[in-house]
């Protein structure tokens, strides 16, 4: 695990603050922003998500069938379902994603690392961990860094991708910047906006996260993304992964628009995702 002093981490955060204020937006722009994603391209960005506590085996099986049908990037499930998803997706390019420290992030680093290790050994290719939000808000950069680094170490040793969930709806702008900088310093592969249980993604937050981490690190937008227009807005702002429980609905919209030759059904309207939890799913994915 990487070792940084408190002073070094404080400098990393201070430098990130300066970058965020001075950097040009790093989302798509110009021709890239105006180019409409094809349904297949959009599908490869989506982590098809089912993280509600009362999810059943039948629902998980349906999730995997839908992911195979549409060609989603992954299914994202609680650790208890990883083995089943591994078996159901063994002949598919769809990956299995699971979670650690979910959904509060307030457990101990070694517990999160153990959760991640067990999930990966059970078949997960990716792990989304919740950072220690309370420690971040207390200004304890070293504990936040060490927490992320402990899980990164396990994930990378076992060949898995690690995404750090910031829970942006609970953070000030300065705290969002600090969280991104600490996750990047700790070696996480992605920063992710939200669990979906405490508010969701916004275009502004995704754009800020992309400015802070630059082009080389992943940015995952998750929470409240339920329409094709919202997905496009997040991608234009800089997201290169989307967490959504509404992936099938989004794909149906995109396929219908593609069949009708529509370019941007809601052109001219700025989309700001981050709506309240859905009564249908019990969470904001």
Task: Kindly indicate the confidence band of residue 27, based on its pLDDT and cuts at 50, 70 and 90.
Answer: low
CA dihedral of 231, 235, 237, 238, whole degrees rounded to 10: 140
Nearest to 152 by CA among 189, 102, 104, 177: 189
Active site residues: 128, 192, 220
Lowest mean pLDDT among 4-13, 161-170, 235-244, 261-270: 261-270
pLDDT in tens, 138-173: 999 999 999 999 999 999 999 999 999 999 999 999
Show me where the domains of the chain are located.
6-13+38-260
Residue 266 confidence (pLDDT): 46
- Name the pTM for this structure: 0.90
Separation CA 102–CA 67 (nearest Å): 22
Judge whether residue 272 has pLDDT over 60: no
The first and second tokens of residue 74, run together, are 């992954």
Under a CB-based contact definition with an 8 Å cutoff, are residues 80 and 96 in contact? no
Residues sharing a CB contact under 8 Å with residue 205, sequence separation 6 or more, in sequence order:
168, 176, 193, 274
Task: Kindly indicate the confidence band of residue 22, based on its pLDDT and cuts at 50, 70 and 90.
Answer: confident
For 6-13+38-260, CATH number out of 2.40.30.10, 1.10.4030.10, 3.40.50.720, 3.20.20.70 equals: 3.20.20.70
Residue 126's SS3 state is strand
**Reduced 3-state DSSP string for 28-86:** CCHHHHHCCCCHHHHHCCEEEEECCCCCCHHHHHHHHHHHHHHCCCEEEECHHHHHHHH
- Which element (helix H / strand E) includes 128? strand 126-130
- Which element (helix H / strand E) includes 161? strand 161-165
pLDDT in tens, 211-230: 999 999 999 999 999 999 99
Alpha-helical runs (H) found in 89-225: 109-122, 133-137, 141-157, 173-186, 203-213
Lowest mean pLDDT among 90-99, 130-139, 190-199, 275-284: 275-284
CB half-sphere exposure, 150, CA atoms < 13 A? 22
Residue 261 confidence (pLDDT): 77
Residue 152's SS3 state is helix
Residue 280 confidence (pLDDT): 39
Separation CA 138–CA 265 (nearest Å): 44
Number of H helices, E strands in the chain: 12, 8
């Amino acid at each position: 695990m990487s070792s940084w002093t408190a002073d070094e981490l404080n400098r990393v955060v201070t430098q990130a603050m300066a970058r965020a204020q001075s950097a040009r937006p790093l989302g798509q722009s110009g021709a890239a922003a105006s180019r409409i994603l094809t349904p297949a391209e959009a599908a490869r960005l989506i982590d098809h998500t089912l993280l509600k506590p009362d999810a059943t085996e039948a629902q998980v099986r349906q999730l995997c069938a839908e992911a195979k049908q549409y060609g989603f990037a992954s299914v994202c499930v609680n650790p208890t379902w990883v083995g089943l998803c591994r078996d159901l997706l063994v002949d598919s390019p769809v990956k299995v994603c699971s979670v650690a420290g979910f959904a509060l992030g307030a457990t101990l680093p070694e517990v999160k690392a153990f959760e991640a290790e067990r999930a990966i050994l059970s078949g997960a290719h990716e792990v989304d961990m919740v950072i220690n939000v309370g420690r971040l808000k207390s200004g304890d950069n070293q504990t936040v860094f060490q927490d992320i680094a402990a899980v990164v170490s396990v994930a990378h040793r076992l060949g898995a991708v690690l995404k750090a969930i910031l829970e942006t709806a609970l953070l000030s702008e300065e705290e969002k910047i600090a969280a991104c900088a600490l996750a990047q310093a700790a070696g996480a592969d992605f920063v992710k906006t939200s669990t979906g249980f405490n508010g969701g993604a916004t275009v502004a937050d995704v754009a800020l996260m992309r400015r802070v981490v630059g082009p080389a690190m992943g940015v995952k937008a998750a929470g409240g993304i339920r329409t094709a227009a919202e997905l496009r807005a997040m991608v234009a702002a800089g997201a290169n992964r989307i967490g959504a429980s509404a992936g099938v609905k989004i794909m149906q919209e995109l396929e219908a628009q593609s069949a009708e030759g529509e370019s941007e059904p809601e052109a001219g309207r700025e989309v700001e995702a981050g709506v309240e939890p859905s009564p249908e799913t019990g969470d904001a994915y």
